[in-house]
Structure 1
Amino acid sequence: MAGQQTTGHRLPILIGIPLAVLAGLGIAAQGRINGALGARLNDGLAAAVVSFGSGLLVILAVCLLLPSGRRGLRAVLPALRARDFPRWYITAGAIGAFFVLTQGLTVAVIGIALFTVAVVTGQSLSGLLVDRIGISPAGRRAITPIRVISAILTIAAVIWAVSPRFAVASEISHWLLPVLLPLAAGFLMSFQQAMNATQTVHYGTPLAATLINFVAGFLVLLVAWAIKVSLAGFGQPLPSEGWYYLGGAIGCVFIGLSAWLVRGLGVLLTGLGTIAGQLMGSLALDLIFPAPGTVITLATWLGTLLTLIAMVFATLPWPRRGRGAAN
């Protein structure tokens, strides 16, 4: 099985974790841009289509211009024919499409606070599971007490950081069912990272894996948007300001970076790093470009700090008690 392989690639923690945080910063920036575009168009699904479509054009151009990108594209069909990994891994982009679509469907209903908590909870739990069953190129990694505690600390930290925004959340019956969508999206994100990382190993570059990710996601969103248009018609015209279209390019960076990082850090550490980056990025954006309803309190700062502590805690070694132990 491809998912049980390891590549021998080990990335130093002091290099990998900052890069994972950088990927998380990109997720926060993309979320703010796509959210603004969705509000401008009054159509979150159309904003997701624009984001994936622009990202697809960017990564396609990069793959065609760079020799490594062209080599990676030439390696795709041979890898699929040889069944070097399960062929359904090429649908990983559909998970990204589901995540973006979930933003548009639920954030307006449950608020960004509950959305963030649900996504982080799902991602932290699945990070442990994906590492344990070993479907990423990093291979199987044991569920040690330190890794479990780090995941729990991360969930608690995010809840603490966004707790000031709970005051504006509506009654439980209003958000209980919608919150299941971001919970599922967050749970699937770790699988997406592992699937993209596996493709990266066999293509020899994250560029080809990122391109396939965008193709799959764009096709899913395009079909959903076409159905919506057939039922409800077109929304607002596209804006002329160029910054509304940066979300796709940013997505190319953090999807490709995450696919490369999982190979050396594993899914859980990559996920914890990106979560920390998301919180730090969201905090910075709220300070510099505050959105309507922005609330920053001491809990916001301390929750973000606790997230960083949980991430560092996850990198600590755990004493091995037997020959089969893994970290």
Structure 2
Amino acid sequence: MSAVDQSRRSFAAWVGFLLTAVAAGAAIPSQGRVNSELTAEVDDPFLAALISFSTGLILMLAIAGLTPRGRRTLREVRPALRRGEVRWWYLLAGCIGGYFVLAQSLTIGIIGVAVFTVAVVTGQTLGGLLWDRIGLGPAGRKRLNTVRVLGALLTVLAVLWTVSPQLSGHTGAWTWLLLVIVPLTAGFTNSAQQALNGRQSAAYGSPIPATLINFIAGTAVLVLAYLVKLLVSGAGEALPSTPWFYLGGPLGCVFIGLGAVLVTRVGVLLAAMGMIAGQLIGSLMLDLVAPAPGTVITTATVLGTLLTLVAVVIASLPDIRRTR
């Protein structure tokens, strides 16, 4: 193959990475909007999070059990555990996903989507740097050179710029600042979840088993949390009849499955940053098509979103050069 053909294939691969990352990231704000509305409807963030994960579990059980590839790759789980390619604690990555969804249900209605996004993105970026450095993902250790760190910092600044119109309207800063710790830690651990899912997907040859195991573990944790909540304060409202309130789980399947594939290809940091770009683009499109109360779209919103894409490209440069 000529150098020109290799260059073209490299460029096409990274365009594919960006599109996949945007699609995966865009599922997050959509899921957040659904879960926030569901929480308001049932008046119970624990029940809303459990409903979200349960619907995702039902979908993944259908995909894994009814498709030939799903059944075939499920049979790879035990051999991968015996070979040591997958450690038993990798299977607990879904507990992090349960925490992430619960963080959405608990905090978005109080601190708003803007603050939630900044906190999650900061956590994802810091986590991506750390997990790549210690080699938690399937791609092994990645050097944190100047370009990668610059891209990560530029991503956080771009997100702050994007959501600055919403941030400026907050009062009682110290009250909701404490709540920011929840989505911050959710974003930080979420990048670890993607790393562990990537390891599993590489061992199984498909993201289907890892995604299913994620939803089993996450649902189990949320069932326990909901039972504790029932003992403390009782049940909330009746289940809603509106169909789109139950789409949070399927959107989580998209995010977890595509994220696992991305981590195996480009590492934890770049996967996280690509999905951050997707989150901002998805949020922008969602606010344009179906704006929530208090939504503000300004020039900073649009330019900050574009700057995030630039930051992802900058951080990708070392990998693009290596591929070429």
Q: Same fold (TM over 0.5)?
A: yes
> Does the 8 A contact of 2:35 with 2:105 survive in 1?
no
1:78 deviates by 2.5
Which amino acid in 2 is paired with 1:255? I
- Identity, in percent, stands at 54
SS of residue matched to 1:234? coil
Give distance in 2, aligned partners of 1:206 and 1:65.
15
1:139 deviates by 1.5
**In the alignment, does 2:239 pair up with 1:238?**
yes
> Does the 8 A contact of 1:25 with 1:278 survive in 2?
yes
Q: Which runs of 5+ in 2 are unaligned?
A: 1-9
> Does the 8 A contact of 1:111 with 1:169 survive in 2?
no
TM-score for both structures, normalised by structure 1: 0.91
Give distance in 1, aligned partners of 2:17 and 2:142.
17
Mean Cα deviation higher: 311-320 or 223-232: 311-320
TM-score for both structures, normalised by structure 2: 0.92
Give the match for residue 121 of structure 1: 122
**In the alignment, does 2:254 pair up with 1:253?**
yes
Query: 1:266/1:231 Cα in 2 relative to 1: closer, same or farther (>3 Å)?
Result: same
1:115 deviates by 1.4
Give the match for residue 5 of structure 2: none
Give the match for residue 79 of structure 1: 80
Give distance in 2, aligned partners of 1:128 and 1:76.
29
Instruction: Count how many residue pairs are aligned between Structure 1 and Structure 2.
Output: 314
Give distance in 2, aligned partners of 1:201 and 1:319.
21
Which amino acid in 2 is paired with 1:237? A
**In the alignment, does 2:49 pair up with 1:48?**
yes
1:319 deviates by 11
SS of residue matched to 2:317? coil
Alignment RMSD (CA, Å): 2.0
Give the match for residue 206 of structure 1: 207
Which amino acid in 1 is paired with 2:202? V
1:326 deviates by 11
Give distance in 1, aligned partners of 2:282 and 2:24.
10
Which amino acid in 2 is paired with 1:18? L
Give distance in 2, aligned partners of 1:319 and 1:286.
33
Which amino acid in 1 is paired with 2:214? N
1:84 deviates by 2.2
1:62 deviates by 0.4
Give distance in 1, aligned partners of 2:320 and 2:61.
45
Give distance in 1, aligned partners of 2:320 and 2:22.
27
Greater share of helix: 2
Give distance in 2, aligned partners of 1:105 and 1:244.
16
Give the match for residue 60 of structure 1: 61
**In the alignment, does 2:130 pair up with 1:112?**
no
1:261 deviates by 1.1
1:189-230 Cα deviation digits (max 9, x unpaired)? 111001001111112211000000000001101110111112
> Does the 8 A contact of 2:36 with 2:108 survive in 1?
no
Q: Which runs of 5+ in 1 are unaligned?
A: 1-9
Give the match for residue 265 of structure 1: 266
Give 1:1-327 correspondences, 5 Å limit.
12-317=13-318
Mean Cα deviation higher: 192-201 or 171-180: 171-180
